[in-house]
Structure 1
Amino acid sequence: MEKQGKSIDKDQLYGILETRNVKYVQFGLEQRFPTWYGSTAYFQLSTRKLGLRDPDGRLPSRGSASSSGKKAKSFHTHPEVSEYWLDTLYVCEYCFKYTDVGKELQEHGTQCPYRFKTPGRIQYRSPELSIRKVSGSRHTLFCQCLCLFTKLFLDNKSMYFKVDHYDFYIVYDTGSKKPMAFFSKDLVSYQKNNLACILTLPPYQRRGLGTLLMDFSYKLSVRDGLISGPEQPLSPFGLVSYLKYWSTLVCFQVLEGELQGESRITAEDISKATGMRVSDVLLTLRSLECLTQNQEISLQILRQRFKNHKQYSHAFINKDLLILDN
C-alpha cells in the first residue's frame, strides 16, 4: 500500500509502537490497570492527542464514551515532558468505547445499551460461563472498539478497522453483561484457521478462559469437518499457551478419548481425533519428548507424563452445552 509515492511502514499501518504510550486503563468504574504495549491507533499522530471520533471515522453517537458537548481535554502532558501520550484511557467495560475524561465514562456507563443487552447470539452456556458469537459486519463499532482495546495488551500485529469478515466469540459470566475474554475468527481465511486473535482481559486472567476458548475453536472446526488451528505465526506467549492446551488435548484423547486403549497411534490418528493439524501434533509431541528416534510415538512415555500431571479434568468445553449455529 502506498500513499503519495511513499511506502507505509507496516507498524504504522497496524498502529504498533515499541514503547507503551498509554499508562493506565480505567476499565469501567472499578478496574484500573497498566497497559502492556503501545499503540498509536487511538491517537491523532500529528498531535498525539486522543482521537475523539469513533474508530470508523464517524462522529460519536449520543451517549457514547467519546461524546461530549465540547472537545474533551486530555490528561497527558506534552511528549517532551512525559514518555506517555496519555496517562489514563477510560474504557467502557460493556462496549469498549473510550474517552480521556473520567466524567464522560461515568455518564456513558449509565446509558450504554450493552449494559442492558449483550450483542450476538449464545453458542455455549453453562451455569458458570457463556460464549456469544458477535458478527463484525453486524456489530461493527463494538468489534472495532474491542480490537482497539486489544492492541494495548497484545504484542503482535492485529487488525482493528476492517472487521466485517470476522466473527468474535466472547466469554461472559452467565447472567453478566461484561465481556471477559474473546477470540476472533477470519471468515475468509485461505488456510481455514479456526482462530485469528485471542485475549483474556486483564481483570479476568488465571481463570482458564483462554483454554476454554481454544477448545471451543476446535469444537467449531470439528463441527465444520475441518482439520485446523490458529493463525500463524504464533507469538512466543501464544505458542506457550497453545502447547499447554495441545498437550492437554492430546493427553485426553490418549487416556480417556477416542484413542484410549490403542497399542499404536500415529500423528494422523491424533489429528483426526482432535482436529489439530499434523504439524501442530508433531510440535506438541516433540515438546513432550514423546517421539522415538524413528519418529514413532511412545505411548508409555506419553501416558506416564500425564499420569503424573492430571491437568485435563476440567479444561474442556462440555459438548452437551453447545448451542452452535451456522
Structure 2
Amino acid sequence: MEVQNDGKCCVPDCDSTGHLSGKFDSHSTLNMCPIYHNLTGDDCRQRYGRRVQRRQDRSDANRRELRQKAANSPNTKEDRCAALIENRRKEMQKDVLTVSPSKAQSPNKAHKQKTSSREPDLKGLTPIFDMDMFREAQARAAELIQEQLAAEQEVKRAGIGLVEMGRYEMTVWYSSPYPEEYQCLPKLYICEFCLKYTNSPLILKRHLHKCVRRYPPGDEIYRKGNISFFEVDGETNKQFCQNLCLLAKLFLDHKTLYFDVEPFLFYIMTEADAEGCHIVGYFSKEKQSFLAYNVSCILTLPPYQRQGFGRMLIDFSYLLTKTEGKVGSPEKPLSDLGLISYRSYWKQVILEYLSSYEGKDISIKNVSSQTGINAYDIVSTLQSMGMLKYWKGKHLVLTQKEILDEFRVKLKKRKNPKLIDPKCLHWTPKTK
C-alpha cells in the first residue's frame, strides 16, 4: 500500500477526493483512488448506492422468504434460489445498460493505455458479471482498509490504552507525556521494579532478565508484615522518580509534575513476596513547603484500590507529619477520587478522637495537634457531618450521641483493618 507522508494520494492529478468504495469523501492511498481504477468519484458513489440497494433488496427477500416459510409456502428451496439468481441477473443487465457507450474501449486500445499510475483497463477482457464481482470485491476491500486506517488513527489520538506491569494489566484513565514513539501504542509494558517502560513484551522479558532491582531505590523507613514504605529522594534517583510520575499521570487527571522531581521526596508503599517488593501506591511531598502541605500527589494503583491501601497511604503521611511535630494538609485542589478518600479518612479519625474523648470542652486546636490534621480540614469535615455550630463568634463542636454510637458499632464490625503501626516507623525528619 502506497501512502504519502502528508496523507495525500500519490496518483498524478488526484486531489484525494472520492473513494473507490463510494462510502467516504476522501482517500490517501493508491488502492482507494478512483482515478487509479479508471473511475470517477461519482461513478464510485453510484456503485455504492447500488450495492446498498442490493443489500436492502436481499434483506427484504430474506424476510419475505421467512414469512412464506411461516405460511407453509409451496415454493421449494430450488425455486427460491432460482428466483434470487434471476433477480441478480436482471440487476446486472440494468447496471450494464447504465454504462455510457462512449466509455467502452476495445481490448487493444485498453492495453495500449497502460501506465504506471493507472490500473489496466479490463473492459472487454472478461464477462461483465465477473467484472462487476471483481469491482465489488475491490470496493469492499477499500472500504475495510479505510475503516482499519481510521481505527488506527483513533488509537493514535487516544494514546496508550493499557499498561502491563508485573502480573497486572491496567486500563489507562488519562494521557501521560511519554515519548512520542510510545504515545500510539495500544499497550505499554513497564518493569514493576525499576519502572522502565518498553513497547513490547519481548523487550520487557529481556530487560527483566538483566534488571537487578527488586525494591524502590531508597531507604526503607517502615516495615510491618509484608508492607513496607521507602523514602526516595527525587534528586538522588531522578530517573526512577520521573518514570513514577509518568506512570501516575496515566491515572491522575490533575497531576502536573513530570520531570522536575528534585525538590520532592517520594514515599512508596510496597507489598513483598518471594519475587520482591511490588509497588502498591505512593505519595510525594515537597522538601520545603511554605503552605505546610504534607502531600503533593498521592496514588493507589488500580489493582490495589478499594482494599484499604489508600487509607494507609494517607495515614502514613499524617504519621510523618506528627513525627515532625507539625500539622498538615494535602495540596489543593484534590481530584474527585482524592477528595472522597480524604473526607472519609478525616471523618474516621475525628470520630475516633471524639468517641474516646473524656473532657468537657473540645478545642479544634487540640484535635488538630493530636491528629496532625489541619484545622481548616477539621472544620469542613465537622460541618459536612452537621457537628459544628458557629455561636457568639466561636465554633462549637456538637458531640451528637447518635453519630458517635453508630460509629462505635461500625468500628466493632470491621474485620482485619489495614492500619499503620507507629512503632514500626524508623525515620528521622531531615533538618534544613
TM-score tier (shorter): 0.7 to 0.9
Contact kept, 8 Å, 2:326 with 2:369, in 1: the verdict is no
Q: What is the correspondence of 1:1-326 to structure 2 with a 5 Å cutoff? A: 20-28=158-166, 30-39=167-176, 41-44=177-180, 49-50=181-182, 85-115=184-214, 117-174=215-272, 176-256=276-356, 260-292=357-389, 294=391, 295-301=395-401, 302-310=403-411, 314=417, 316-326=419-429
The Cα offsets for residues 47-76 of structure 1, whole Å up to 9 and x where unpaired, read as xx228xxxxxxxxxxxxxxxxxxxxxxxxx
Contact kept, 8 Å, 1:255 with 1:303, in 2: the verdict is yes
Kindly provide the amino acid, as one letter, of the partner of residue 422 in structure 2. K
Kindly provide the amino acid, as one letter, of the partner of residue 145 in structure 1. N
Match of 2:128 in 1: none
CA–CA separation in structure 2 for the residues paired with 1:305 and 1:284: 17
Relative distance call for 1:227 and 1:112 in structure 2 (3 A) is same
Contact kept, 8 Å, 1:90 with 1:99, in 2: the verdict is yes
Contact kept, 8 Å, 1:25 with 1:90, in 2: the verdict is yes
Match of 2:126 in 1: none
More strand by share: 1
TM-score (norm 1): 0.76
CA–CA separation in structure 1 for the residues paired with 2:410 and 2:385: 12
Q: CA deviation at 1:269?
A: 2.1
The Cα offsets for residues 197-216 of structure 1, whole Å up to 9 and x where unpaired, read as 11111222222111111111
The Cα offsets for residues 121-153 of structure 1, whole Å up to 9 and x where unpaired, read as 111111131111111111111111010000000
CA–CA separation in structure 1 for the residues paired with 2:211 and 2:163: 18
CA–CA separation in structure 2 for the residues paired with 1:313 and 1:277: 28
Relative distance call for 1:118 and 1:33 in structure 2 (3 A) is closer
Q: Identify which range, 198-207 or 272-281, moves more after superposition.
A: 198-207
Unaligned runs of 5+ in 1: 1-18, 52-84
CA–CA separation in structure 2 for the residues paired with 1:136 and 1:291: 41
The Cα offsets for residues 168-218 of structure 1, whole Å up to 9 and x where unpaired, read as 111112453221111111112211211111111122222211111111111
Q: CA deviation at 1:20?
A: 4.7
Q: CA deviation at 1:118?
A: 3.7
Q: Secondary structure of the residue that 2:188 maps to in structure 1? A: strand
Q: CA deviation at 1:278?
A: 0.8
Q: CA deviation at 1:43?
A: 3.0
Unaligned runs of 5+ in 2: 1-156
CA–CA separation in structure 1 for the residues paired with 2:279 and 2:419: 20
Q: Secondary structure of the residue that 2:189 maps to in structure 1? A: strand
Q: Identify which range, 315-324 or 192-201, moves more after superposition.
A: 315-324
CA–CA separation in structure 1 for the residues paired with 2:361 and 2:272: 42
TM-score (norm 2): 0.58
Q: Secondary structure of the residue that 1:299 maps to in structure 2? A: coil
Q: What value does the CA root-mean-square deviation take over the aligned residues? A: 2.0
Kindly provide the amino acid, as one letter, of the partner of residue 106 in structure 1. K
Q: Secondary structure of the residue that 2:389 maps to in structure 1? A: coil
Greater Rg over alpha carbons, structure: 2
The Cα offsets for residues 68-90 of structure 1, whole Å up to 9 and x where unpaired, read as xxxxxxxxxxxxxxxxx320111
Q: CA deviation at 1:158?
A: 2.5
More helix by share: 2
Contact kept, 8 Å, 1:24 with 1:35, in 2: the verdict is yes
Kindly provide the amino acid, as one letter, of the partner of residue 245 in structure 2. C
Q: Identify which range, 184-193 or 307-316, moves more after superposition.
A: 307-316
